Structure 1
Amino acid sequence: MTALLTETQRENQDTRLIPLSALQHYAFCPRQCALIHNEQAWAENYLTAQGKALHERVDSDEPETCKGVRFEWTVHVLADKLGISGILDLVEVDTKTGRLKPVEYKRGKPKPDPGDEIQLCAQGLCLEEMTGQTVSEGALWYMQTRHRVPVVFSDGLRPLQ
């Protein structure tokens, strides 16, 4: 799974592709999205440093298997048809059925806006385009609450298609 994209494909990714994280940023605040992704205006603070540390802990090149689920970390994906690409924190693969489930790690807690769910669903859409499999759900894991939130990829979350 980690090798969905070759090193050459990753290096040659079209810069016109929208990063998956930009979808979350845009849903939260279009201005913030433009500052980060268009103007490259990014200021580290203790919150972003915590988020970076969380992602460094989950980034691993070695898959693991436990209780019928293979855990693939740091999975590079893209969906040419949708114009999006990014790196998934984790993809859980059911070893019996092959079903894929993206899991996104977040520093904080669940938010009232749908940005996290939109980003996660876009990850599922990338997996669908790359594998030809339907990806019907994912999960968000929040560090602050240490809680995993299941997310069904409903028609309301799939407007990119």
Structure 2
Amino acid sequence: MDNVPNDERVMLSALQHYAFCPRQCALIHVEQVWSENAHTAKGHQNHERAHAGGSEERGDVKILRGLQLLSRRHGLWGVADVVELHGERPLPVEYKSGKAKPRLADEIQLCAQAMCLEEMFTCTIPQGFIYHAASHKRREVAFTPALREEVLNARDGVLALMRTRVLPGPAADERCQLCSLIDECEPFAPRDFPRGFDPFSTALEE
């Protein structure tokens, strides 16, 4: 998928939305629907600070904020929260307001950043970090072949949504509990749910 046309390049944030919930992705990136809640507002505050731009040096590490990212080969673009330059090698750091989620949505977004950086810096990036503001800790994410494949699968899924403009069905599960688009999505409108179905029976980790 080399040299993807500009109008078919996928935003890095769309990959995260798609991996979390394809319907959420379509609502945001196809139908241009957005709504805030406490969790998204906190996330935006963290990203605004990270995207303020500029750079600084801490010892041998140079820190870049708000770096524009692009991969013509993979058809991806976006903005990195933080990129640490360890010598000539860049390492992406993604900021998240909550705890680690059970799904790979955040890891896919981070890996996609690395794939852009690899093309921009002509290098190989084996791992990056996700910083969780809730715990003030960061964890390492290895960019395995399997995770890289998940990035491309998510990219293809987003492209399919953009081309068909068909809204997928709702997840109608524990993911909906903290989703800011729950009112717009209406995941629990009357449907053929099993008798005794409880969508919030499994608590969603932040």
Q: Give the TM-score normalised by structure 2.
A: 0.68
Give the aligned partner of residue 92 of structure 1: 84
| Matching residue within 56, 59, 63 for 2:55 | 63
Deviations 1:102-129 (A, max 9, x none): 0000111100001111110000000111
- Segments of 5+ residues of structure 2 without an aligned counterpart are 154-206
Give the aligned partner of residue 113 of structure 2: 123
Aligned residue identity for 2:71: A
Aligned residue identity for 1:130: M
Aligned residue identity for 1:57: R
Give the aligned partner of residue 7 of structure 1: none
Superposed, which structure 2 residues align to 1:26-37 within 5 Å? 26-37=18-29
- Contact 2:129–2:138 (CA under 8 A) maintained in structure 1: yes
Moved over 4 A (4+): none
- Contact 2:51–2:80 (CA under 8 A) maintained in structure 1: no
Report 1 or 2 for greater relative contact order, CA contacts < 8 Å, sequence distance ≥ 6: 2
Report how far residue 146 of structure 1 moved.
1.5
- Contact 2:17–2:105 (CA under 8 A) maintained in structure 1: yes
The DSSP-based 3-state class of the residue aligned with 1:76 is strand
Distance of 1:83 and 1:34 partners within structure 2: 18
Distance of 1:65 and 1:85 partners within structure 2: 26
Give the aligned partner of residue 74 of structure 1: 66
Deviations 1:67-88 (A, max 9, x none): 2100000010111121110000
Distance of 1:55 and 1:142 partners within structure 2: 12
Specify the structure having the higher radius of gyration (Cα): 2
- Contact 2:17–2:24 (CA under 8 A) maintained in structure 1: yes
Report how far residue 136 of structure 1 moved.
1.1
Give the aligned partner of residue 105 of structure 1: 95
RMSD: 1.5
Superposed, which structure 2 residues align to 1:40-51 within 5 Å? 40-51=32-43
2:123 maps to 1:133: yes
Give the aligned partner of residue 142 of structure 2: 152
Distance of 2:132 and 2:75 partners within structure 1: 27
Aligned residue identity for 2:130: L
Identical aligned residues as a percent: 46
Report how far residue 15 of structure 1 moved.
3.6
Aligned residue identity for 2:27: L
Distance of 2:51 and 2:76 partners within structure 1: 21
The DSSP-based 3-state class of the residue aligned with 1:123 is helix
Report how far residue 55 of structure 1 moved.
1.2
| Matching residue within 25, 30, 40 for 1:38 | 30
Report how far residue 153 of structure 1 moved.
0.5
Q: Which has the higher strand share?
A: 1
The DSSP-based 3-state class of the residue aligned with 1:42 is coil
Distance of 2:105 and 2:51 partners within structure 1: 22
